[in-house]
Structure 1
Amino acid sequence: MAEFESASESREARTEAVRALEAEFGELLTRIRRLIAENAERVSPGMLPGAYKVFTTIVRRESITLSCLAESLTADKGQVSRTVRELEELGLITRTPDPDDGRSSLLSPTPDGIRRLAVAREPHDNALLDTLQEWSVQDIRTLARLLHSLTTGESP
């Protein structure tokens, strides 16, 4: 009987811990959404967070086709295409012919787009570094490793 209670208690403790983690992730996501909305507004007044995500994905990948972009964002190709047109009109990205496939284009950030993104991110550039200032480098690495394990579904 004691073994069953111990297993039950352990399950309850695990469930409680997971719920606390879920709540903290919820708070973190809210903070990230706010940051993305603020950055989007600084890149271009009225820019929606979804367009910012498309733009930053293009910047991160440096050069990407529309199909690969939609796939990486797990988004509808038509919606991504409309957003890409908006980003082009804003002068944030450009299309060039794909040398490997004449039927498609490569999407790349413009120098002005990269500059505007850097300016938008500047107010928060050191926020995470400042927040983790008192953490040991080993704790930061451990958190990164654990988050990677959680993201990929791998055991730490």
Structure 2
Amino acid sequence: MSPVRSPETEAAIAEVEAQLGVLFARVRTIWKDGAHAVHPDLQPVGYKLLASLVRAGSCHAGALAEQLATDKSVISRQVKLMEELGLVVSAPDPTDGRARILTATPEAVEKINIIRDRNQAMLRSRLDDWTGDDLTRFATLLARLAE
């Protein structure tokens, strides 16, 4: 049974939902633009995967699927495309011949880092006038929401 909420609380929850929708739409646009900046044939999900691979370093496809809460088949298709585009190399895991270790190519790392620097600069400019306490509280609230 869900708790009884005041009309003000219900309205606030609805506004949070609406603002998250706006934020997610902007994030999807950033992924789409980032994908195109890396390679015109790269899809946004491929950009998300590649950016995660650059951040994490070499890893198994299964680990990426788990980290991104994505089906392994999606990862496989994207890895195949990214290999064809020269963005990722895949090598057998020396400890488990069935598994593959993925590594972003130097070109992909460079492009992702340029895009990431640009995105972080944009975020910093939007948060410049926030106090340290505001930023800490915001990060804490986001972490609570993601739990």
- Give the TM-score, by structure 2 length: 0.89
Deviations 1:78-130 (A, max 9, x none): 23211101111111111223233222111111111101112334443311111
Question: Which 10-residue stretch deviates more, 86-95 or 14-23?
Answer: 86-95
RMSD between aligned residues: 1.7
- Off by >4 Å, runs of 4+ in structure 1: none
* Identical counterparts, % of pairs: 33
1:111-150 → structure 2 map (5 Å cutoff)? 111-150=106-145
CA contact (8 A) 1:93 1:107 kept: yes
Match of 2:17 in 1: 22
State how many pairs are aligned. 144
| Residue of structure 2 in register with 1:46 after alignment | 41
The structure having more radius of gyration, on CA atoms, is 1
| Residue 56 of structure 1: aligned partner | 51
Matched to 1:68, the amino acid is A
In 1, are the aligned partners of 2:54 and 2:112 still within 8 Å (CA)?
A: no
2:60 matched to which residue of 1? Answer: 65
Can you give the 5+ residue segments of structure 1 that lack an aligned partner in the other structure?
1-7
Cα pair 2:92 2:101 within 8 Å, conserved: yes
AA of the residue aligned to 2:23? L
* TM-score calculated relative to the size of structure 1: 0.84
**3-state SS of paired residue (2:90):** strand
Aligned residue runs from structure 1 range 82-121, under 5 A: 82-121=77-116
Aligned to 1:4: none
